[in-house]
Structure 1
Amino acid sequence: MSVSPPSASASASVAPASTRSTAPTAAELLDFVRRSAADSSLIASLPLDPEGRTWVRLEGPGGSEAWLIGWPPGTGTGWHDHAESVGAFLTAAGTLKENSLAVRLPTDGWKTLELSEDVDRKRELKVGEGRAFGRNHVHEVLNESTTEHAISVHAYYPPLPRIRRYSRTGEVLRLESVERPEDWQ
């Protein structure tokens, strides 16, 4: 299964909160994903595939990158961050689990880090639950259900400049790759 960001091949539009020229905050992105997730016709429009994640690009507020994503049972993203982007996501159907690290990692110049024992955070996000996050937020998102699809709405600003992917063994986090938008085309 590919864990790359969705491609921009499909498109839908959710009206932005405003047409102002300032960058949206993480709180405004959370408001956007909350409104989008409440749009039952938008959620119903997402085609679901039992084998892999599906997605539709949305028009996010203030030039943000936004996605509606379908998660088949047992799928996930793997550990990653969104580099310099702030973001938000919210569960629109099903339940998602987020594992995250409550630590600020160095942004560049390392391949392996040993984490302290108290940095792990776990959240179960049911329908209508989500969160906003800041730059360099390291997490993984999972649909742990064995029978039910989950659907979520995500927004990032600035549009994703890169994604760093990690592997984790116990308390050791290893940088595996850095992807840029041109890698996702």
Structure 2
Amino acid sequence: MPDVRTSARPQATGTDGGPSASDLLDFARRTAADAALIASLPLDPEGRTWIRLNGPGGSEAWLIGWPPGTGTGWHDHGGSRGAFAAASGELTEQSLAVQLPTEGWKTLELADDVDRRRKLSDGHGRAFGPHHVHEVLNTSQDTHAVSVHAYYPPLPLMRRYSRTGPLLRLEEVERPEEWT
């Protein structure tokens, strides 16, 4: 497993003492620029591949390969803040510009103006706070994408959602022990 080290420069911290979302984005962008590391990721034509990295300040970080036409589905990060940056190819992020309640619901009807969409390539990235709900897609028909992701605190869980038009439905809650 590659060992990615962070720079020695001082980092801003979040209110919990961990790296801020902007620190995580800086890490993701620097790591996405490491051509040797990006080339070390085995790419599978059928499914996503990944390597766990050493993120800054105790964060969880991943290098992820995305075959053409793959995506995450709608999800959140269990209250962790995070960031990701494209290293090669292009990713599309669809997100919700609204804070959802974390418990006590199964289906929500979203307002008309909460959808956001952005494309990320060539080291461009995105930082987000602890209530971010999104899906990430490689919409290319023929090109792999590779990206770097970092989260703090390390992901305690992920909530997975399905979406039909304005209806968002909580489908499952995954815990880290299920990801190995």
Question: Into which bin does the TM-score normalised by the smaller protein fall?
Answer: over 0.9
How far is the alpha carbon of 1:17 from its aligned partner?
A: 3.1
After the TM superposition, which residues 4-19 of structure 1 pair with which residues of structure 2 at under 5 Å, given as runs?
11-18=1-8
Please list the CA deviations of residues 138-184 of structure 1 after superposition, one character each: whole Å capped at 9, or x if unmatched.
Answer: 00000000000000000000000000000000000000000111222
Unaligned runs of 5+ in 1: 1-10
Which one-letter code corresponds to 2:141 in the other structure?
T
Which one-letter code corresponds to 1:14 in the other structure?
V
Aligned counterparts of 1:99 and 1:28: Cα–Cα separation in 2:
22
Number of residues of Structure 1 aligned to a counterpart in Structure 2: 175
After the TM superposition, which residues 22-41 of structure 1 pair with which residues of structure 2 at under 5 Å, given as runs?
22-41=17-36
SS at match of 1:98: strand
Identity %: 70
SS at match of 1:51: coil
> Please, which moves more after superposition, 123-132 or 112-121?
123-132
Aligned counterparts of 1:183 and 1:54: Cα–Cα separation in 2:
16
1:43 aligns with 2:33: no
TM-score (norm 1): 0.92
After the TM superposition, which residues 4-153 of structure 1 pair with which residues of structure 2 at under 5 Å, given as runs?
11-18=1-8, 22-153=17-148
How far is the alpha carbon of 1:127 from its aligned partner?
A: 1.3
Name the counterpart of 2:165: 170
SS at match of 2:136: strand
Q: Aligned-pair RMSD on alpha carbons?
A: 1.3
Aligned counterparts of 2:87 and 2:69: Cα–Cα separation in 1:
17
Which one-letter code corresponds to 1:13 in the other structure?
D
Please list the CA deviations of residues 33-52 of structure 1 after superposition, one character each: whole Å capped at 9, or x if unmatched.
Answer: 01100111000110001010
SS at match of 1:144: coil
Please list the CA deviations of residues 101-150 of structure 1 after superposition, one character each: whole Å capped at 9, or x if unmatched.
Answer: 00000011110000000000000111111100000200000000000000
Aligned counterparts of 1:141 and 1:166: Cα–Cα separation in 2:
13
TM-score (norm 2): 0.94
Which one-letter code corresponds to 2:146 in the other structure?
I
Aligned counterparts of 2:27 and 2:70: Cα–Cα separation in 1:
25
SS at match of 1:76: coil
Which one-letter code corresponds to 2:48 in the other structure?
R
